Amino acid sequence: MSLWRVAVIALLVTGVGLADEQGQEEAEEAKLRALEEDIQALRQHLQQRDSERKTLADELQEQELEVAAINGKITTLDADIVRLNDELIELGQRRQGLESQSRAQQAMIARELEAAFRLGRAEPLKLLLNQEEPDHLNRTLKYYRYFIEARRARIEGYRTLMAELETVVDSIASNQLELANSRDELEAQQSALATSNEKRRQVLAALDQELDSEQARLAELNRQREELEAVLARLQEAIQELTAPTSEPFPSLRGKLPWPAEGKVLKAYGSMRAQNLPWTGWLIAADEGASVNAVHPGRVVFSDYLRGHGLVLIIDHGNDYLSLYAHNQVLLKEPGDWVRSGERIALVGKSGGLEDSALYFEIRHNGRPQDPRTWLVRR
């Protein structure tokens, strides 16, 4: 066979091979385009669902913040009512004491007035006629004037004090009634908001069921965890530039810290929350409105709402240690506030979408979660 025929055949075979490879590549590209279109359609579908879910989550957050604001007002009003009651009790005791004194004073003043009435205007004259020495007379008249002025001042002072006490008691009673009415109104608003919150939770639950449940929940929990981790990372950077709290070093109190709330541990550190997503703290069952207490002195570095965690408060304890308290009903401290060990910093709630009230608690060192069991005193 001539060389040129061999070359032609080789070119034809090569061309066929190139054509087959090209056709195969085009087919693969078509498949890839179809797959990309399918992925894009799925992504758009999920984004639409996420958008709807985000809108409802935003509404849930807004309502939970409103509930928190109302609960904060109720907490303040409760404290005011207690204070006013204490003041009323104290004033009542003071008034009883004054009334007891008044009876004694009235008897004494009555005797003085009776004696003065009998003496009449002759009382100074009688003193004058009964005295023989001028110096002694002068001193006696001065004492007499002091006695008269003291008598007048005692009577006027007593009247003024009793009038003031009556005014204060009436004012406090009026304020107490006003505060009680305000509290009733706020509780009614809270009940309405709680009902609305429950409806929103039902809608969120329905959307969760429509999504591929396990994967959707895992994705949502991961998003929530990523947001929390981002906040904690930023805080960890920021606290390096802050003055460290001056108190007993946090590491020296391992196993001695008080619990942040009274209750049973529902979810322990390390137990699985979802697929490959462990709990990095404790979820403690506690009554709604119960006290949340700082486990160690420090400074509040975060006090705000985080999706999935609700109302969150974070305290810097120095030595790169942080404690975190989530799902609160009310936050009682602001960023920058210094707190003592055992001081009430929040109230237990179920913000962040919990069905039942609980406190989520974490301890972090250099941003890494620690097992609370090794830090809190054993029960």
What is the residue-wise DSSP string for 209-259?
HHS-HHHHHHHHHHHHHHHHHHHHHHHHHHHTTSPPP-SS-GGGGTTTBPP
CB 290 within 8 A of CB 348: yes
Taking only the tens place, the pLDDT of each residue in 337-370 is 899 999 999 999 989 888 889 999 999 999 899 9
Given a cut of 70, whether residue 33 has pLDDT beyond it is no
- State whether 202 and 279 are in the same domain: no
> Higher pLDDT residue, 60 or 295?
295
Q: Give mean pLDDT, residues 171-186.
A: 79
Most confident range, picked from 92-106, 110-124, 161-175, 224-238: 224-238
Q: Which domain holds residue 363?
A: 213-374
Residues 117, 139 within the same domain: yes
Lowest mean pLDDT segment, chosen from 195-204, 210-219, 248-257, 312-321:
210-219
Region of 336 on the Ramachandran plot (φ > 0 left; ψ -120 to 50 alpha; else beta): left
The reply to whether 65 and 187 lie within a common domain is yes
CA distance 35 to 53: 26
Single residue among 173, 208, 243 that ends a domain in this structure: 208
At residue 69 the predicted structure's pLDDT band, cuts being 50, 70 and 90, is confident
Task: Indicate whether 24 pLDDT > 80.
Answer: no
Is 10 part of a structural domain of the chain?
Answer: no
The pLDDT score that the predictor gives to residue 153 is 74
Q: How many residues belong to the chain?
A: 379
The answer to whether 362 and 281 have CB atoms below 8 angstroms apart is yes
- Mean pLDDT score across all residues of the chain: 76
Q: Is 0.85 topped by the overall pTM? A: no
Does one domain contain both 202 and 242? no
Is the same domain home to 245 and 313?
yes
User: Do 95 and 176 fall within a single domain?
Assistant: yes
Cα–Cα distance, 178 to 77 (Å, whole number): 10
- Read off the tokens for 116: 């003065």
Residue 16 lies in a domain: no
Considering its fold, how many domains does the chain have in total? 2
Pairwise pLDDT comparison (277 vs 291), residue with the higher score = 291
